[in-house]
Structure 1
Amino acid sequence: MGSMPQSTTMQAVRYHGQRDVRLETIDRPDLRPGSVRIAPKFCGICGTDVHEFLGGNNLIPKPGKPHPITGETSPLTLGHEFSGIVEEVADDVTTVKKGDRVCVQPIIYDGDCRSCKRGLVNCCDQNGFVGLSGWGGGLCESTVVPSSCVKLLPDNVPLEVGALVEPLSVGWHSIKMSPYKDGDSAFVIGGGPIGLAVVQALVGRGCKNIIVSEVSGKRRAFATQFGAHHVLDPLSQDVVEEVLKLTDGQGADVGFDAAGSQYAIDTAFEALSARATLVNIAVWEKRAQLNMNELVFRERSYLGVATFALGDFEEVIQTISDGKMEPSGMITKTIKLGEIVDEGFMSLVNDKDNHVKILVDVEASLAATAH
């Protein structure tokens, strides 16, 4: 007997617009030259997904204004933090094979702009993301992505952890871009998912003095759990005074702003040493004000970083495989595809302090549907 013919349709979580996300049956995508078909297993929900859900199309291209690389608009399949199993590869793909356990580096880039020609694909003039700009996403039964996006997972890295590589790579990249070196003290402002990713990346790099400022008690506990050495409450402590105490009066050598607030910038610069660098990872909703004299007279630097660059995923995967990062504690809830709005997005809105990363278990969702 031959194998059963594969269904031409599949389940997918689709973004239609503001507060309009649906689990739908759609056509399975076709395999393209240079691409890989993956059966997603676990997919994380990102703050960006929640912002698009609450506020409407921002990064997700609006109907009538297709993404310049993918040509797609909403409605499209969500999910850009995911792992899965390779189902099929195009004839011209040799980097992975059917059955491989993988995660997806979701940056979409044109390869042709002035940034891409220098290898800076995360700074592409037209960049986008799998699961936000088109080309499928991880919240579905089967997705097709360019082979360059597909990263092998070692046998000792579980698929659940594979879905954490994307946010961890944001933290890893921010440290690589900073002047951080062995022996430096690091000050992290904000203990949300990205701030906690920075903490874990600092642990993976062997930092011995990680200081975190965070208003939420639960998130301060998470920061301690993930390896922060000192955790401060800006509502009850003088953060600048405390950082100075914890750095022998010098101030921190490098700062990471994962909060994106005016208070965070002002506090961070005061808490940094002369010639220190503040790295901005946060996406800002409005313009910030800088006290330029705080930079000029102490020769401090302010550095913007965007997502992750070529090689970051591989380094994070290796660091996890080597046991220098143990990020499974980031997973605070696992849900099914049909629960994406109520148990996913709304949990991150109404109960965000108690969650770091909510994962969608795609396989369990499909098994439940089948029964």
Structure 2
Amino acid sequence: MKAALWYGKNDIRVEEIEEPKATKGLVKVKVKWCGICGSDLHEYLAGPIFIPVGQPHPLSGNTAPVVLGHEFSGEVVEVGEDVTEFKAGDRVVVEPMVVCGECPACKEGKYNLCSKLGFHGLCGSGGGFAEYTVFPKEFVHKIPDNIPYDKAALVEPLCVAFHSVRMANFKIGQTALVLGAGPIGLGTIECLKAAGAKLVIVMQRKSVRQEYAKRAGADVVLDPNEVNIPEEIKRLTGGVGVDATFETTGAQVGWDLGLASLKSDGTMVVTSIWEGNISFNPNDIVLTEKKVVGTLAYRHEFPATMAVMNDERVKAEGWITKRVALKDIVKEGFETLLGKEKKKHVKILVTPEEELLEK
């Protein structure tokens, strides 16, 4: 079968590899659509970050080259021994967590914090940029009937946003600042509005993404090149600041403005994956009792995320800005997301089934 493999920085190749088999406890999925994620871009530009190189991943036992892709939907074509929850023809998404099930975090049910954590599509266990993949039945979820395959490929990134709002302990009637209007930022806006936010402010430099933020439900969009964001936020909140900020840019400016815009005792949730260090003065949190919370992926939230998509509390309209064939993933996918028109794109979906591009 064809698959896109990461060999190294700036080196992704579409090659023929062996088709996986549905052995005991596994579900085999024929991939329909798979989104290119920010973490895929980080690996392409600056990797390895999560991808094992030199030392095999402790759970997959593999090293690069690895099949990429973890935001995907597909159709069950085969199930392994002891799998009774699924059958051929089921429409599914995969929660792409590779975990040990034995460490303290896993035993507490916080499997996203597994001490040996890996991600399907990054750690060498297979991935969604392929014609087929297999995964344990525990992490496969049926798609509601009225969510099409392409929209189902958005469940994974929306789940990241859903989890970050939960990690903020966000409450109905509170206020928020979202830093950045890329895919995770847009998902966070939608989840905040679904959670009953009174005011959602977005920091986004001038580009079409400002319009995307408004479409997602932002009440106010601010450009840091045009206004002093902490001062403007205090004006908008009666001198108080927002209850929560959500950092999705992975940049020093996002960290700084997110912290400065918080009310005393507010919470900043950091969703970004960072390519390097940043600096900050701990007194910025000590003297105000502000809280900084890290958030990684999701846990136990795929069904709830699909539920809010199914009843359209979260619409994710306009997210899919381009569809490409697997064979063209580098030129039409990665290079597009890194090129001069990158701000125009939210999510580029990739399919190994080229007939889908004609529908």
TM bucket normalised to smaller: over 0.9
Match of residue 342 from structure 2: 352
Q: In structure 1, what residue type is equivalent to 2:202? A: V
Inter-partner Cα distance in structure 2 for 1:81 and 1:187: 26
Structure 1 residue 270, shift from structure 2 partner? 2.0
Task: Tell me the equivalent position of 2:25.
Answer: 34
Cα 1:270/1:58, change in 2 over 3 Å: closer
Counterpart Cα distance in 2 of 1:216 and 1:104: 35
Please give the per-residue CA displacement for 1:49-90, whole angstroms capped at 9, x wherever unaligned.
12222234331111x421110111122221100000011111
Amino acid at match of 2:40: D
| Residue 259 of structure 1 pairs with residue 249 of structure 2 | yes
Moved more, 254-263 or 34-43: 254-263
| Corresponding residue for residue 247 of structure 1 | 237
Alignment-derived partner of residue 339 in structure 1 = 328
Give the whole-Å Cα distance in 2 for the aligned partners of 1:312 and 1:341.
31
Q: Amino acid of the residue matched to residue 316 of structure 1?
A: T
Q: Residue in 1 aligned with 2:52?
A: 61
Shift of 1:296: 2.1
Q: Which residue is 1:330 aligned to?
A: 319
1:272 to 262, 267, 273: 262
Residues 17 and 53 in structure 1, CA contact (< 8 A), matched pair in contact too: yes
TM-score by length of 1: 0.93
- Find out whether 1:144 has 2:134 as its counterpart: yes
Instruction: Tell me what 1:196 maps to.
Output: 186
Report if the CA contact (8 A) 2:77-2:88 is conserved: yes
Q: Is the 8 A contact 1:189 1:264 kept in 2?
A: yes
Report how far residue 366 of structure 1 moved: 8.6
Deviation digits for residues 141-178 of structure 1 (CA, Å, limit 9, x no counterpart): 11111111211110011111110011111110001011
**Corresponding residue of 1:7:** none
Runs of 4+ in 1 over 3 A off after TM superposition: 365-368
1:219 maps onto 2:209 in alignment: yes
- Residue type at the aligned position of 2:335: M
Q: Is the 8 A contact 1:179 1:254 kept in 2?
A: no
Conserved 8 A contact 2:323-2:357: no
Structure 1 residues 16 and 270: alpha-carbon distance in aligned structure 2, compared to 1, 3 A threshold: closer
Cα RMSD between the aligned structures? 1.6
1:103 has 2:93 as partner: yes
Number of equivalences: 357
Change (3 A) 1:258 1:367: closer
Gaps of 5+ in 2: none
Is 1:176 the equivalent of 2:159?
no
Instruction: After superposition, give the CA deviation of every residue in 1:292-320 in whole Å (9 maximum; x if it has no partner).
Output: 222222221111111111x2111100000
Contact 2:23 2:81 in 1 (8 A): no
Tell me the amino acid that sits aligned with residue 343 of structure 1.
E
